[in-house]
Structure 1
């Protein structure tokens, strides 16, 4: 069975050997998981979020387990784009499995600089744009919560990285995610990934304190899968560009459910904290799962959900 997938974008296509990707922020730079499986076997690797300069992230505690998931307020800690390009990227099997650089910034201009910096990197196949971060010049509102700001970011990244596939990662913390998806598409995005984490919090009752030093954090894991499925289903029906499903995917059946509702590919995130070999196992298990479920083609399965 042919498991390859092509994300056919408006400007650039992205071809994957299979639909199993890793999610940003949960797989490090990829190198940290090399002992658990063959990185080249994955459909692609989305590395942890990159900024122009190195960031230390938020104070600890910044990760806490919750019912059916976890909250994180890591604060986008990373070594900065230059160190990634010089020290991390050359060690990844980018010639065999696409490397997707997740980027974030606090201004439209910085998004443009980041995209331009990565455009010349041969080992980077695509950029995934994190629009869930706050725009410091607009009072802290997240780029992904305002269609106008989201369009500005998409447009400048598209212009600054003309040689790359541009994927916009949408936040679920909005009233109507399809409005954001259409704004990204109209501004030149090649694909959409959704969803990013849901805002949540946890408290330490005996101490009468928040469990996270940052008070609130991003909820991920199996708890958010129903929300992610709903968002992917809605977005896939609202735009013509491909959609990549993210949120609570921890087994091959989960991946196939996302494809059923319209996703072209999926990203494995929090499951890698529980089982570092999860994404690798899903790649191996996918053919047998398709045969067991009578799926002869991923193209045939995609978007075939029967209503009523």
Structure 2
């Protein structure tokens, strides 16, 4: 029944719809190799042209329904990261996540990764200066960024969108008009936590991005809205911890689903999700590709 899990995402053939979300496993090929054994595709940590140190600790904290992080888009820089990824073994397709502040910088980054199967544009990180959400909240700039990248590559390009905007569908349409091959919904929400005894914010950056199961209903609604309005694939991301979450995202319109915070609790999450999805398709007799957006038609 593994055949029933296969999907085609904008030309990328995947053994299942499960993708490693960007930013979770650091910038080392060994970690990506391990997870790629059961993932449908792997998205790298976001990389920029030059090295970025990121924020000092504490940069990640746990709360009752997920995580809050302010890592700060730490990155070894494009050249060093490309050399590191030479050790990636391609058990699953590799999507390289990029961040920059201008269309020209995004386009330049593409040239460092000719071996990538696709690119994800980080237009949504809520806790980095002059990149991420700072550029991803302007539909005109999103259009220009996507268009510039598409001029430099024939590989699929996915725009990762933020829920911290006035209208996520407007941003999604701008990406589609720029010829994006798909959108990712969503990145983290803005949030913070205060130590009630120290009487000060816990994160060194004061605020960060909220992820985990607490944001799943928001992510599902964003996927639903984007599927209604766009003609390109939507990739769901936000709060997936079980196979039921994967199915819910796909019914809402997600062609594929990214997993991130759940890895903090289980490094076997891709294996367990894959096995559970096999059992689901055996029970229903359906291919997962056939249920994408089914809730809209019921």
TM over 0.5: yes
- The range that moved more, 25-34 or 260-269, is 25-34
Aligned to 1:92: 88
CA-CA distance at 1:115 after TM superposition: 1.9
Alignment match, 1:290: 281
Structure 1 Cα separation of the partners of residues 297 and 97 of structure 2: 35
Q: Indicate conservation of the 8 Å contact 1:49/1:76, yes or no.
A: yes
Give the SS at the match of 2:151: helix
Give the distance between the partners of 2:248 and 2:13, measured in 1 at CA: 21
What do the CA deviations read for 1:230-262 (whole angstroms, capped 9, x no partner)?
Answer: 000111111111111000001111111111111
Contact 2:35–2:270 (CA under 8 A) maintained in structure 1:
no
| Pairing of 1:151-300 with structure 2 (within 5 A) | 151-160=143-152, 162-292=153-283, 294-300=284-290
| TM-score between both structures, scaled by the size of structure 2 | 0.92
| Separation (CA, whole Å) in 1 of partners of 2:101 and 2:213 | 29
| Aligned residue among 95, 103, 108 for 2:103 | 108
Length, aligned pairs only: 294
1:54 aligns with 2:51: yes
Whether the 8 Å contact between 1:40 and 1:93 is mirrored in structure 2 is no
Question: Offset at 1:19?
Answer: 0.5
What are the superposed Cα offsets for residues 167-188 of structure 1, whole Å, 9 maximum, x if unpaired?
A: 1000110121111111000011
- TM-superposed deviation, 1:60: 1.6
Structure 2 residue runs of 5 or longer lacking an equivalent are none
Structure 1: gaps of 5 or more residues: none
In structure 2, do the counterparts of structure 1 residues 164 and 135 end up closer, same or farther at CA, with 3 Å as the change threshold?
farther
Give how far 1:195 is off. Answer: 0.2
Q: TM-score, normalised by structure 1?
A: 0.89
Instruction: Give the drift of 1:38.
Output: 5.9
What is the Cα-based RMSD across aligned positions, in Å? 2.1
Q: Report deviation, 1:93.
A: 2.1
Task: Using the TM superposition, give the Cα deviation of residue 66 of structure 1 relative to its aligned residue in structure 2, in angstroms.
Answer: 1.7
The list of structure 1 runs, each at least 4 consecutive aligned residues, that deviate by more than 4 angstroms after superposition, is none
Conserved 8 A contact 1:63-1:71: yes
User: By how many angstroms is 1:223 displaced?
Assistant: 0.5
- Give me the whole-angstrom Cα distance separating, in 2, the residues matched to 1:179 and 1:60: 35
